[in-house]
Structures are given as structure tokens and as C-alpha cells.
Chain A
Amino acid sequence: MAHATTATAGGKKEAAHHFKDMDHEFETCKQGLWLFLLQEVLFFSPLFVGYYVFRGLYPEDWHAASHHLDPKMGAINTVILICSSLSMAQAVHGAQTNNRRKSIIGLILTLIFAGGFLVVKFFEYSHKFELGLLPAGAFTYTGADLSGYPHAKLYYSLYFAMTGLHGIHVIGGMAVIAWILKRTLKGEFDSNYYTPVEMVGLYWHFVDLVWIYLFPILYLLG
């Protein structure tokens, strides 16, 4: 395996053959990840544009429909995700400074916060399902408060599309954090080589950041 990153006899990681050294590899990976996050922004963009287009077309419907979201739940989840960003940053710092314990605790806390976020989301979703506040084609809600607003159901299309896509990113994030945790437990990272930890950290901050935009436009804007 001439191409893969290989460990030498001393156990110290060596850069892959097409890089000059570990720093070169790290910088390249970091740039790659930033480019990935850039395309993620564009990936979410049609939903944000769609949200604002329909908000502009049907402002009253949007106003009425948004009242069914509970800002308290949204706020709790916002706090949870901000805390998870902090614990993730701690985990990365632990890896950079050869503090494996700190790194492990940080990763476990991040996983717990992410799980907590999904639990809250689960309760929110099941409540919407019960009421029939679903994407347009499946919308069955018959309450009087939305009866004069035929396009309220589109609000829920976008609500589920946006939070659903974000939720998939949270689940994906948990998977890669678990993978990093496993490798940290095996002692694969130290101050010489912590590239994957830092990359997953960056990705996780991005996932939080998306929520920071979703929370106000869905829960707070009337």
C-alpha cells in the first residue's frame, strides 16, 4: 500500500506519499473540508430561497402556520447545539495538546448533546404528525386557526424539508463523531496527527450554524 498513510516503526504517522510532510497534508485536508462546507451552503440554499419566496407570496399563511411551532422547544435545541459546539471544540483542543482524556470526554458530550437534540426534535415531529401538520400532499390539519390559509401547508413542506435535511446532517455528524471517538480510544491521534478530529469538528460547527439560521426563521419570525 504505497498510497495510504502508513505508520512507521516508531508509531509516528507519516504523510501520504504525495505530500511533503504532515503540515502539508493537514493544510490540504483543511482546504478540502472548507470547500465541502461551501458546497453544503449551496446545497441548503434552494430551501432557504424557497422559504423566502413563499413567505413573500403568502405572508399571512406563513404567519398563521408558524404559530404551531413551539419557540421553547426550538430555544432548548439551540442551547443544546451551542453546548455541543463547545464540547466539540474541547475535543479538538484535547487532540491537539495530547490530552486524550479531554478529547474523549468532549466527543462523548457532543454525542450526548446531538442525541438530546434529536430527542427534542422527535417530540416536536410526533406532535405535528398527530395534528396532521405535514408537508402539503399529506397535510390533514383541520383546525379553525388555519382554515382561511390554504398555503399554510406549504409552510410545513418547507419546515419538514429544512429541519429534515438538517436532521440528516446531525445523524451523519453523530456517525463521524462516533468513528473519531473509536479512533481516539485506540490512541490514533496526537499533536502530530489530529487531522480527522479537526475536520469532523469543522463539520459539526457547520451543522450547528445551519440550525442557528433555521431557528429564527422558522420559530421566531411571525
Chain B
Amino acid sequence: MAHTSHAGENYLNHEKGIWSWLTTVDHKRIGVMYLLCILTFFFFGGIAAMLIRAELFHPGMTIMTADQYNKTFTYHGTIMVFMVVVPLIPAAFGNFVMPMMLGAKDVAFPKLNLASWYLFMAGAAVALATLVINQVDTGWTFYTPYSIRTTTSTTYMLLGIFIMGFSGILTSLNFIATIHKLRAPGLTWGRLPLFVWATYATAIVQLLATPVIALTLFLVLLERTTGIGIFDPKLGGDPVLFQHFFWFYSHPAVYIMALPAMGIVSEMMPVYSRKQIFGYWPIALATFGIALVAFVVWGHHMFVSGQSELANFLFSFITMFVAIPTGVKVFSWVATLYGGQLHFRMGLLYAFAFIFVFTIGGLTGVFLAALAADVHLTDTYFVVAHFHYVMVGGTIMGMLAGLHHWFPKITGKMYSESWAKVSWFLVFGGFNVTFFPQFILGSQGMPRRYYDYAPKFQTLNEISSFGAWSIGLGFVIMAIYLLHAIFKGEKAPDNPWGAATLEWQTTSPPSPHNFEKDPVVTHGPYDYSEFRK
């Protein structure tokens, strides 16, 4: 059990070769493997997005047939939801950063952690194998009865998502036990960084919601293979029951996506404004408020699916409550900035982007939660715009804040800030150019998932497509300057941003066991008084 590491030895170079990565139980390496794989999936999902926007550039056929279009948006949705946005922050940054924030040497169950990665990759492989077998055309929601009848290889897709679900369940179980049991001496609950609180709440939601979708999708798989009939109206089953089960997971899943991003934003605000966070406990508790409400609002996806009037009313009413804890967070972040010394580094810029787009996403969610407005807006581009503002604007902006903030810690290198700002401008600007017109399109009645549209919608669709290509260009630039940084970048100092959380109190990149000496915590996560001396 050699704990002493030699000078210059870190988690990246203490063992070499691909095999040392594939058999590692080091949470940092597993986090990096998740990050690389998920960013690869993000690339493929992004290609699908570009194809969709190219097709919708003009009405009628532009580059593909209607059938190909259905498949393209199905893969865009399934890849982005199940392989990117849900696992991204918890699996990559949760794994890399969270144990270090606790002052721990690893997660509670390191081997299980590696097994989760293999499950994730196996599930992804099965799901993506459908690309070459018989491409799926159901959309990412797999609504029955179409998903039962379609001859495309939906069965394998469902199996793949089922397997990936267990990866998420085991990871969240691991994280909860880690946060409970492996905190460094002196790291009381009140001293936990807010990213840890967010990871904790996310893990609880993921642990409780994912098994439901796993079994539900497995039942659809059984519908397809054995005709079990539970969701099949022809056999007396109930397709609306499928929707209930599906959204019982998929609504909380929105918070599996959003909460970790909020956690990252909560880290950025104090660090880059050099101030204690405003409202530590309100933010931590609001995280749980959101997690709690998340479980009782799923019916707002089904206002026109044949729910009772009473259920519609209750779900609409409860949904409005999500705005309260979310508002608590947004105001606390803004109050943290007030009177601070702002350092406009990438972490803060992406956190700003998060707040801007997530607020728009949240407010348009109120439109959709209102029953009368929703009847008009259901299945229009307004919904598409809304959930992209929440998922992309929320999770991806939050992830990019985290990526730029922790990049020096992960790689030990610094990237070019000026190119990063160019990329930020293209991604953030492009995002709004892409999706804001879609709110207008939706409110004017352009339906989602349609291959064709009326000529009067053409201008706004063209603007939207230009925006999408701007996002694409922004990501290409980002890939270039980050890769350049990895190979040619300046060496990063241990704590380039002057952060007070524990992961910055070790070397960049960290040693194999994170800390040379087990840390003892004597102050809160955002106490910068040490740095002012």
C-alpha cells in the first residue's frame, strides 16, 4: 500500500498504457473516461442536430427524406438525453471533483464505480448498434403503441437504455454513500461545497426515479417480444399508463440534468467574485426543494393525454412551485455577485450564460404549466425551445462552466482565455439565435417533430439554423483550443483561481491518492480570508 508518491507523479502518469485505464478504480481516471466518452457522444448528437437544422432550413425536402428525418431526431434525442445530458455532470465531474471536495481518497465503492462505467459503455454500445441494424424512428419518448408496432430495432435501443439506467443507479448509490461516510475530519454538513449538495440531491433523484423508467422500458421491450399487453390498447392495456411511468422518471430527470449544473454555478459565483456565497443554506435546501417537487409534477407533460380535470389542475398548481426554490437560487447567486470583485474568467462567463438562459427556460416553463396556454402550446416548437433552454442552456452551460473551471485541475494545463471567449460568444450567442425564434414559431403554431412546415415560417427557421451552425463553430473552436492546451498548454498552477474548496488544495493534476496528507477542514468552502492576507 504505497501512499507516498514521487515528485511529479500524478494520477495521469503514475501508471501507463490503455490497460491501466481500463482496469483503474481511481475515481479521477473514471471521471476522465466518462468525460471523454460523453463528449464523443455529444459530438454525434450534435451532428444529428446540425442535420436537423439543415433539413429545416427550407420547407419541403432539403437534404433528407421524411423517414430519415424521423430517425435523425430520434438519435439526436436519445443520444443527448440518455447518453449526454443525464450522465454528463454527475458521472464526469461528480466522479472527478466530488470525492476531492470531501477530502476523500476515492468514492465509497471504487470497483462498483468502474463496473458502472462498463455498464454505461455496454448500454451505449447496444443502443448505438441500432444505427447499423435498423435505425429507430420512435423519438426519444418511445410512446406506445407506436413503439410497440414499429419494425425498427427499438428493442435493442430499449435494452441499451435499460442497461445504462443501472449505471446511473449504481453511480448515485455510490455517491450518496461517499458523501455520508467519507467526509474529511472537520467537514461538517454546513461546510460542504454546494456542488456536493447538488450531487447529493441529484443522486437521490436518480436512485429513486431511474428504476421506474428501467422497468417501464423493459415492459415495452416485453410488449415487442412477447406481447405482454400492459401498454397495448389492442390487448386491453393502457398507453396513458406508459406515459405516467415514463414521465414519472423523465420529469425528475430534468432535475437530474439541472441540479448538478446549478451546483457548478453555485461554485463559480463565490470563486470569481471573491466573496462568501450569499445564502448558503437557502441554496442547499432549495436543491432539495426542487428534488422533492420534481417527483410530483410529472402530469404536466400529459395535460392533453386524457388525464382527469382534477389531476390536470393539481399538476399545474404544483408545477408552479418549482419556481420558488429556483428563484431562491437565482437571487442568491445574483446577491453573491453584488459588491464582489468580479473576475471575468470562463467559469463565471458560462455561469452568467447559465443564469440568463435558464431563467428564460424557467419562465417559459410557467407558460407551459398554465393549463389554458399549454393546450395551445403542446407539441409545438415552443416546447422544443423551452426544453432546450433548460437542458442545453442549463446543463450544457453549467457543464462548460465546470469544464473550464476544472480543466487545469484535470489536465494540469491552462487554455487560451481569448479563444475561449470567442468560443463562448459563439456558443452563447448562437444558442439564443437558434432557440429564441423557436418560441415565436411555436406560439404561431409550428408543430414539433414535423418534417415540413408552412412557407410563412421560413425566415425564423433560417435564423434558427444559422444559430445552430454558430453553436457548432463555437464547439469546434473549443475542441481546438482545449486539445491545444492539453498538448502545448502552459503548466497550470495548483490553484489558478484562488478557490477555497479542497480539490484546489492539492497539486494539478492531483496525485494518485488525491492528497499527500489527509486534509483536516477548519473553514467553510467559500472562506477567502486566507487569500487576502
> Which residues in A have some Cβ–Cβ distance to B below 8 Å?
2-4, 6, 16-19, 24, 27-29, 31-32, 35-36, 38-40, 42-47, 49-50, 53-54, 57-58, 135-138, 150-151, 153-154, 157-158, 160-161, 165
Contacts and interface: CB of A to CB of B under 8 A. Distances in A.
A136 B235 contact: yes
A46 B216 CA distance: 7
The size bracket of the interface on B is 35 or more
Given A18-B105, A31-B180, A154-B236, A135 B228 contact: yes
A24 B181 contact: yes
Given A39-B169, A47-B215, A161-B228, A150 B177 contact: no
A165 B235 CA distance: 21
Interface of B: 1-3, 25-26, 104-106, 108-112, 169, 173-174, 176-177, 180-182, 207-212, 214-216, 219, 222-223, 226-230, 232, 235-238, 241, 245, 513
A49 B112 CA distance: 31
A219 B467 CA distance: 60
Contacts of A44: 215
Contacts, number: 127
B255 to A, nearest CB: 16
Given A2-B3, A39-B210, 15 more contacts: A4-B111, A18-B105, A18-B106, A28-B177, A29-B109, A35-B173, A42-B212, A43-B211, A45-B215, A58-B236, A135-B222, A136-B232, A150-B236, A160-B228, A165-B215
What are the nearest 4 A-B pairs in CB distance?
A137-B227, A136-B229, A43-B211, A18-B105
Central interface residue in A4, A136, A151, by most chain B CB within 10 Å? A136
B110 A3 contact: yes
Contacts of A158: 230
A8 to B, nearest CB: 10
A46 B245 contact: yes
A38 B174 CA distance: 13
12 contacts: A4-B111, A28-B180, A35-B173, A35-B177, A39-B173, A39-B208, A40-B211, A44-B215, A137-B226, A137-B232, A161-B219, A161-B228
Contacts of B215: 43-47, 165
B111 to A, nearest CB: 8
Contacts of B216: 46
Contacts of A6: 1
Contacts of B211: 39-40, 42-43, 45
A35 B178 CA distance: 12
B114 to A, nearest CB: 10
